[in-house]
Amino acid sequence: MKTETRIWLVIFVLAAACLAWDVGDRGASRAYVREVDGRVAPATVADYVAGTAQFSLSRTIGIWVAALLTLGIFSFLYRDNPFYKLTESILVGVSAAYWMVVAYWDVLIPNLFGKIWPGWIQSWAMPGLSPQRDEYWFVYLVPLALGIMLLWRLSPRGSWIGLWPLAFSIGATAGLRLVAYFQADFLGQIRSGIMPLAFFKDSTLDVERSIENIVLVTGTICCLAYFFFSFEHKGTIGRASQIGVWVLMITFGAGFGYTVMGRIALLAIRLEFLFDDWLWLIDPSQRRLGM
Amino acid sequence: MKRTVPLLIAATAGYVLVASRFIPVTEKWGEVEAIWFDILAAIAFVLGGGSLLKLHLRRISDRTAGWGYSLVTVIAFLSTMYVGVAKTGARPSAEQEFYGQSLATLRVDDLPASLTFRVPGSVPTRADGEPLPLDVQRQLSQEGGDLVFRGWMSPKQEADLSAYKDELAWQCTVEKLFEKAQPPAALKGKVTYLADYSKLGFRGYMTEANHDALKQLGNGEPYLAAVADLWAASHVEERVSVAQPPATFSIPKAEQDWLFYDEKTHELAIRGPMSVALRDKLARDDFPLVRPTTAEQRAAFVKEVEAHGGKLSEAQTRELENALAKTWSVEGLRFALDEAGHAVPPEKSACELYQEQQDQSRKPSAEATPKPEPDVKLNDRQRAAIDEFVRQGGETVDVLAAGLHAAGPFTSRQESALREFFGKVPTVGEQKLDACIDLLRIGPLTREQRDFLRNDYREQSQWRQTVGDLFVKAHKVKYPWSGQYNSPGSWFGWAYEFIFKPCTATMFSLLAFYVASAAFRAFRAKNLEALLLLGTAFIILLSQTFAGYWLTSWLPSDPQQNAVAWLRMENLKILIMRVFATAGTRAIMIGIALGLASTSIKIMLGQDRSYVGKD
Amino acid sequence: MRFNLDNIDRRWIFLMMLITVAGPILWQLAFPEIPTPYARAVFDAIESLKPGDKVLVAFDYDPASEAELGPMATDFVHHCCEKKVKMYFISLWPVGPVMVQDAIRNIIEADYPQMVYGQDYVNLGYKSGYEGVIKVIVTDLRTLYPTDTRGNNIDQIPMCRDVKNIQSMKLIVDISAGYAGAKEWTQYAAVPYADKMKLVSGSTGVQSPQLFPYLPDQMVGLLGGIKGAAEYEKLVNDKYSGPTPSPKYQEAIRRMGPQLFAHLLMIGLIIVGNVLYFTQRRRKGRSR
């Protein structure tokens, strides 16, 4: 047996022993719910303290599944392995189905079928919907037709039919974004970027604010100069674009700093799940008070 | 043709949306197009799922390397899709189940003639051409010179119809129609007609008198069949076993026909469905509510807790006494009841206002009212009744209300205010449990102390569970598919919470490791630009944490007072983000906007044809 | 296995990162937070609302961003409940309504049971279409939302009866993880209807730098990542939660604990990496 395999075997055996003690002795990894009127909700601290929380087998199995899948994904950090590949396959399948189901119940049923056949949808799926058709219900036949054409892309023949709805989406996106970006990101930013280079507060020159404004305006112009690739970057334009590069580097450095914070937060929450919900090593929200 | 039509579609779609931003008459077109876009986006998700299935099924059939994983993907996809579309395990929507009512199918056309109500009048026309409100369209029509309404009108329908046209004559007509289109007195508050659901509804248990009154309203076959269904449904008996009902539990004589406790079998039984109000009343009314306490009573309670296990710490004692002191006051109750006793002048009806308008001599005025009733304030006997309620500790709110009625004038508004006041007051069990939680947060409690503090709540919770079980058993599910597909308890919700959510979050969390590795291997301060980037990154990284604050906390804090304060980490961060990062990001945004505009215009002009593909 | 700092296996760095983040979580280390003007601007925007004002709260994120945005969402809802404003929950992300449901259960139903669904808060749910949704609801809410997520007809919901479109909202609170999110709310709602609606946003650390140019003209305030959430949390807790806030209202401050050590590790790794690089370069220069 290779040394690496031996080390991993020892680690797994130790981990299994600790887990067995944690689960068997301390009752870790168990999920509890509160069931009222046939509806289930996760148990709250009041339920734990009162002793009215009920053990939930399905949620307990769920916690174990989530923990094992989490570890499966983390195992990729060591190296690619079948456990990771299995987890990835499950995730891909579940994600794709998730989006489909959400689109079906949240959009297609109420906003498409519910507009064309409101009485039928109301009778079984959405009793709160009005069974009366809107005055202009027939406009919804267009997205229905376009949708069928879009799904034709799955067919081995005639997938070109899917081009029409695709073209509609592309054209609509172009139209939606053109004006919005111009208004908010172009004109809006230019408007915000025009600021007084000599800022007066109560008739006195506010030096600090004035310097800030000068740097901001100059920085913006210099960065824009850098993005002007139609002109050769030499002379004044060259110097301006050099300053622009420096400002951009500061921008990217700031972006990096924020990105790191975001990534660490993601890792922290996963570890918190493993330590809190699975292993019961910590209880930061004091949910299991009195257990 | 194959290429031209898509180009035309793309261009038209773009132009319409752009035009809708500038030309008011085309605003609605833009809205409609945006709705089509939203629906197509949803269908794209379906397409995504279909494509995934197609790809992986091909891999499985071709037995390509790793086809086993494709099989896992397909199984995961199909099972998640099934449980999601079928809403497996999802409870029906609580808001759509009409708890406490039995429903029987009865179409508008099958309503008996006695449920058709007429008043002279006509539907007014609106300048904007807006049709009648949706919730009355099935029932309201015009025949000759009369407005005809089929079925009973609900207050919401009346409000919607009145709001249809802001004209006193119309509102008066609607008012008259509403007054006419009501169930007979014997059935008032018991029957409803839900035209949108094509259902006749009956609340709770149907007595013989109710049944006869209903049968008298019509003799058509569909109507009588519906009444028969309601009769049968309201007589279905359900039972749940009860180990021990609460000590003060009792059922009023008037209700014992349909709600009773069988002492032989120890079962609580109900005939017909249970309403939410009855459920809540049963679950709570027999448990004592918290009363205001004196300092001596609070100290005695603390001693009682300590007697069950040991001395509480000073902080725990303080917390317990504070928790017990936080309760309602007699003064507050008296004030609420006196406020509710203020006479409210009745609002004039639309017909009264219309009559005034017709009468030329006076302008209609909603403020001119008949002389109101005098204010009703609590008298001494009623105040004494409240004090007795506080002293007794075991009396229910019903007993208090009866006592207040007996002791002097007590209006219905005051009784509503009384019930609303006590609706927010916790029970003794709930208060003791909250105290237990607060004490545990501060320090330990022995098992006996915990049991002492939580046993009352456990009894209350057990009883609530029993009542809830009976509530569910007595309810006939009307719309099993109306629930949320991802509600807790549903299989799809399980897949979301224990597969989708953890895996997605974990996948993204891997980035934390890679960013660390990249920082070590790739971030080199080779030149001034790299140094600027790294330096800024250091400042931001430090300033995001307490370490940065601590490192420069010795510097002055206010940059307005002292420029050196800018060197404090948190001020540096603000300076970098507000000035330099804003400048850089602004330039990038302007560049992107220009690029996007150029691409969009190319698409709309048909110059960019990449999405159409090659000939 | 030869241990060579120059060619260190990246898995050792992964292990260092794991220990650095796991340690503070296990020992539940937390540090004080000092609010910045950006968090204060967000706090003041909500604080200036009056009871009964309509607020649109958009949960535009998914479980991948729950680490940073979950505590932010909790604090926004907590603050809005304390201010007794009417909350209209909406989402441009498919998973958003589930987050909303969790917030309703854990905060509103748990701590504010006197608030009534349909009168004080409503969950309108998700619709696909990204910015297309915003484009529709700024002029007509009902066309896209005939019911809420519980299936209630929108006309039957008391707080929706007089709402024709979202221009009647006093404030839009957007919790945003990416596209569609704060940028789209700015472009399609806050800017075109600047006289009617104000926008505050909480976003992930990755997205935040891109939103700073919108401050303060197009966006009133911004919470950047978990740090922004922690600062805002401190402000809300100081005002409303007393000396011992409930643990669920201290999530952001708690999650900042690992940040300190992980950030120091990052700085350390960058410094060590550069020292090694320059040392190697000098060695190569000498050997020539």
Series of mean pLDDT values for 10-residue runs along chain C (288 residues)? 65 94 93 91 96 96 90 96 96 92 91 90 92 91 89 88 91 94 93 91 92 89 94 95 87 92 93 90 79
Cα(B165)–Cα(B127) distance, integer angstroms: 10
What beta strand segments (E) does C151-254 contain? 171-176, 198-203, 221-224
Span of B35-39, B128-132, B575-579, C256-260 with lowest mean pLDDT: B128-132
Residue B241: strand, helix, or coil: strand
**pLDDT number for residue C246:** 86
Chain A residue closest to C92 (CA)? Answer: A106
Q: Kindly report the number of other CB atoms within 10 A of residue C231's CB atom.
A: 25
**pLDDT number for residue B57:** 95
Closest CA to C32 of B556, B552, B546, A285: B546
Q: Under an 8 A CB cutoff, do C266 and B94 touch?
A: no
What is the pLDDT of chain B when averaged over all its residues?
90
Give how far Cα B245 sits from Cα of B262, B459, C125, C206, Å. Answer: 11, 9, 41, 58
- C75 token code pair: 């604090």
**pLDDT number for residue B614:** 62
The stretch A93-114 carries a mean pLDDT of 94
Q: Which helix (H) or strand (E) holds A17?
A: helix A3-26
Residue showing tokens 């710490």: B313
A203 Cα to chain B: minimum distance (Å): 17
Neighboring chain A residues of B585 at a CB cutoff of 8 Å: 251
Cα(B506)–Cα(C228) distance, integer angstroms: 23
Tens of pLDDT, residues A29-66: 889 998 889 888 888 888 999 989 999 999 999 999 99
Q: Answer positive or negative: Cα dihedral of A14, A18, A24, A27.
A: negative
Residue C3: strand, helix, or coil: coil
Supply the ipTM of this predicted assembly. Answer: 0.91
Residue C180: asked if its preceding bond is cis (omega within 30°), the reply is yes
Contact in structure between C81 and C109 (CB atoms under 8 Å): no
- Confidence class of residue A98 from pLDDT cuts 50, 70 and 90? very high
B344 Cα to chain C: minimum distance (Å): 23
**pLDDT number for residue B362:** 57
**pLDDT number for residue B361:** 57
**pLDDT number for residue C2:** 46
- C284 token code pair: 């190569």
Q: Is the pLDDT of residue B367 over 70?
A: no
To the nearest 5 percent, what fractions of chain A are helix, strand and coil?
70, 5, 25
**pLDDT number for residue B366:** 56
Which of B34, B482, B537 lies closest to C151 in CB terms?
B482
Three-state secondary structure along B119-171?
EECCCCCCCCCCCCCHHHHCCEEEECCEEEEECCCCHHHHHHHHHHCCCHHHH
Q: What's the half-sphere exposure (Cβ side, CA atoms, 13 Å) at C218? A: 26
- Residue A124 at interface with chain C, using a CB cutoff of 8 Å: no
Report the DSSP pairing between strands C171-176 and C198-203: parallel
Cα(C147)–Cα(B208) distance, integer angstroms: 39
Q: Under an 8 A CB cutoff, do B502 and A69 touch?
A: yes
Chain A residue closest to B11 (CA)? Answer: A171
- Residue B518 at interface with chain A, using a CB cutoff of 8 Å: no
Give how far Cα A201 sits from Cα of A205, A207, B211, B560, Å. Answer: 6, 10, 82, 13
Residue B184: strand, helix, or coil: coil
Q: Answer positive or negative: Cα dihedral of B151, B156, B160, B163.
A: positive
Q: Is the pLDDT of residue B514 over 90?
A: yes
Closest CA to B438 of B292, B579, B320: B320
Residue B608: strand, helix, or coil: coil
Chains that touch A (3 or more CB pairs under 8 A): B, C
**pLDDT number for residue B370:** 58
Contact in structure between B404 and B382 (CB atoms under 8 Å): yes
Q: Kindly report the number of other CB atoms within 10 A of residue B509's CB atom.
A: 24
Residue B492: strand, helix, or coil: helix
Q: What is the pTM of this model?
A: 0.89
**pLDDT number for residue B598:** 93
Cα(B198)–Cα(B104) distance, integer angstroms: 8
- B604 token code pair: 């709309």
Contacts 24+ apart (CB under 8 A), B128-135: B130/B164, B131/A135, B132/B161, B132/B164, B133/B157, B133/B160, B133/B161, B133/B163, B133/B164, B133/C155, B134/A130, B134/A132, B134/C155, B135/A130, B135/B160, B135/B195, B135/B196, B135/C155
**pLDDT number for residue C103:** 93
Cα(B321)–Cα(B328) distance, integer angstroms: 15
Contact in structure between C151 and B482 (CB atoms under 8 Å): yes
**pLDDT number for residue C1:** 44
Residue A248: strand, helix, or coil: helix
Residues 6+ apart with CB under 8 A from B150: B108, B111, B115, B116, B117, B139, B141, B195
- Residue B22 at interface with chain C, using a CB cutoff of 8 Å: no
Residue B482: strand, helix, or coil: coil
Neighboring chain A residues of B96 at a CB cutoff of 8 Å: 127-128
The stretch B16-39 carries a mean pLDDT of 90
Q: Helical H runs in C162-250?
A: 182-185, 208-211, 225-240
Please classify residue C268 by burial: count the beta carbons closer than 10 Å to its beta carbon, then call 0-12 exposed, 13-18 middle and 19+ buried: middle
Cα(C16)–Cα(B530) distance, integer angstroms: 25
Q: Kindly report the number of other CB atoms within 10 A of residue A182's CB atom.
A: 19
A17 Cα to chain B: minimum distance (Å): 24
Neighboring chain C residues of B544 at a CB cutoff of 8 Å: 225, 227, 259, 263
Span of A268-277, B23-32, C11-20 with lowest mean pLDDT: B23-32
Q: Is the pLDDT of residue B105 over 80?
A: yes
- Residue B598 at interface with chain A, using a CB cutoff of 8 Å: no
Q: What's the half-sphere exposure (Cβ side, CA atoms, 13 Å) at B427? A: 23
Tens of pLDDT, residues B175-212: 999 999 999 999 999 999 999 899 999 999 999 999 99
Residue B488: asked if its preceding bond is cis (omega within 30°), the reply is no
Residue showing tokens 């899948």: A69
Cα(A288)–Cα(A282) distance, integer angstroms: 10
Angle between helix A235-273 and C66-83 (nearest 10): 80
Residues 6+ apart with CB under 8 A from C83: C46, C47, C49, C50, C51, C53
Contact in structure between A176 and C131 (CB atoms under 8 Å): yes
Contact in structure between B490 and B87 (CB atoms under 8 Å): yes
- Residue C193 at interface with chain B, using a CB cutoff of 8 Å: no
Residues 6+ apart with CB under 8 A from A205: A198, A199
Q: Under an 8 A CB cutoff, do B31 and C209 touch?
A: no
Residue showing tokens 């779609």: B13
Radius of gyration of chain B (CA): 35
Q: Quick one: how many helices (H) and strands (E) in chain C?
A: 11, 6
